[in-house]
Amino acid sequence: AQSVTQPDIHITVSEGASLELRCNYSYGATPYLFWYVQSPGQGLQLLLKYFSGDTLVQGIKGFEAEFKRSQSSFNLRKPSVHWSDAAEYFCAVGPARNYGQNFVFGPGTRLSVLP
């Protein structure tokens, strides 16, 4: 069965501290991997994606993620968090090269940032 887990429901960090959001997946086929961010009452914005190649991918807003096939993980990181990063973060997986099939989303991790 296809599934995405985000073990941390809610994380609180201080502004300027580093951040790591965890994502693990179970997927039968070769996956494409994504991280999205959602601010309250808003849609989802793509932070970064991994299709193939270098397993460390850079995204917008200073975020990066590392794909580790052996651990079925795609953790999101940021070296220094800003107050504006407070939001909900969703990890998602999709089947490689199957444009008609939907993604599977994780339950989300809510990030709070302390001043």
Partner 1 sequence: GAVVSQHPSWVICKSGTSVKIECRSLDFQATTMFWYRQFPKQSLMLMATSNEGSKATYEQGVEKDKFLINHASLTLSTLTVTSAHPEDSSFYICSARDPGQYEQFFGPGTRLTVL
Nearest residue to 61 (alpha-carbon basis) of 42, 41, 39: 39
Q: Taking CB under 8 A as the rule, which mask of x and - marks residues 41-60 in contact with partner 1?
A: xxxxxx--x-x---------
**Min dist. Cβ of residue 21 to partner 1 (A):** 14
Kindly identify the residues of this chain, within the stretch 16-35, that bind partner 1 according to CB under 8 A.
Answer: 32, 34
SS3 state at 86: coil
DSSP assignment letter at 42? -
d(CA 55, CA 33): 11
Dihedral, 36, 72, 63, 58 alpha carbons, nearest 10: -110
Q: Site for partner 1 (CB under 8 A): which residue of 36, 63, 67, 74?
A: 36
Hey, CA dihedral for 78, 80, 81, 82, is it positive or negative? negative
Site residue total, partner 1 (CB under 8 A): 22
Site string for partner 1, 65-94 (x = CB under 8 A): -------------------------x---x
For partner 1, the binding residues (CB under 8 A) are 32, 34, 36, 41-46, 49, 51, 90, 94, 99-100, 102-103, 105-108, 110
